[in-house]
């Protein structure tokens, strides 16, 4: 009888331990097949502009102006933005100012706009590009949804590193001039330090390729090339405004 009771207690203890472990794993960041952890991308949100607005060096109305963001792109489509941080009213907690990532050279510029000038929503998805490993990862929360090999910029036209975001996306197959971009393309807020074959005078893109044998190499003018099957997977899953973290 004593042996049975001891075995029963051990079984209960083991079951309790397994439940605790399962709860811990459910709350912990999930790892990819290669042991990678969800990249930490701290942003407030992404969205669109409600009006054209000056970008200021500090969160106050009389601060120096560092740029101008228009409500619409030259093709009359909405201008998307990525908010990196926020200043809130002390009493109410309402947003007063947002610090935005500002597309253009040099990469990494930021500036402040009034909260009333932007319409934001939370960000859950993000893309990680590891230039050295020649790989990409696509995450939603703590879930790794897709990963694969990429081609990156060659010496002299290296892929820039930093935090960027998706500003537009399109199917290049509808225009024969862009057939080299594979089955789908994402425009980003990053710019090649020197040049790029991307429309817009140096904008870095994430796109497919008709030459998958070049994946894993440094061969582009700064853009990140993905396998067509990977870019097809991302096509409807990556919303505009998605953060893109490019690391060395």
Question: What residues act catalytically?
Answer: 207, 223
> Do the beta carbons of residue 141 and residue 157 sit within 8 Å?
no
d(CA 69, CA 217): 35
Kindly state the greatest CA–CA separation across the chain: 83
Angle at 215 between CA 156 and CA 174, to 5 degrees: 90
Closest C-alpha to 53, from 123, 121, 94, 100: 100
> Do the beta carbons of residue 56 and residue 65 sit within 8 Å?
yes
d(CA 214, CA 42): 33
Angle at 61 between CA 57 and CA 67, to 5 degrees: 40
Sequence-separated (6 or more) residues with CB below 8 Å from residue 241: 46, 47, 80, 81, 82, 123, 165, 166
Through-space distance between the first and last CA atoms of the chain, rounded to whole angstroms: 64
> Do the beta carbons of residue 144 and residue 37 sit within 8 Å?
no
d(CA 124, CA 46): 10
């Amino acid at each position: 009888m004593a042996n049975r009771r001891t075995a029963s207690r051990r079984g209960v203890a083991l079951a309790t331990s397994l439940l605790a472990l399962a709860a811990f794993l459910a709350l912990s960041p999930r790892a990819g097949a290669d042991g990678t952890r969800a990249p930490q991308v701290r942003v407030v949100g992404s969205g669109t502009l409600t009006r054209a607005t000056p970008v200021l060096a500090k969160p106050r109305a009389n601060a120096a102006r560092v740029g101008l963001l228009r409500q619409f792109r030259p093709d009359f489509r909405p201008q998307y933005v990525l908010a990196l941080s926020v200043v809130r009213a002390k009493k109410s907690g309402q947003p007063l100012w947002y610090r935005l990532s500002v597309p253009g050279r040099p990469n990494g510029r930021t500036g402040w706009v009034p909260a009333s000038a932007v319409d934001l929503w939370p960000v859950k998805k993000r893309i990680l590009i590891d230039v050295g490993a020649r790989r990409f990862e696509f995450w939603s929360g703590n879930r790794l949804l897709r990963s694969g090999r990429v081609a990156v910029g060659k010496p002299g036209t290296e892929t820039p590193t930093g935090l960027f975001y998706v500003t537009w996306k399109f199917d290049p197959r509808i225009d024969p001039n862009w057939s080299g971009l594979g089955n789908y393309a994402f425009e980003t807020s990053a710019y090649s330090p020197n040049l790029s074959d991307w429309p817009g005078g140096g904008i870095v893109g994430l796109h497919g390729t008709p030459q998958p044998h070049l994946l894993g190499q440094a061969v582009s003018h700064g853009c990140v090339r993905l396998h067509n099957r990977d870019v097809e997977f991302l096509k409807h899953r990556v919303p505009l405004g998605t953060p893109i973290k490019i690391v060395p």
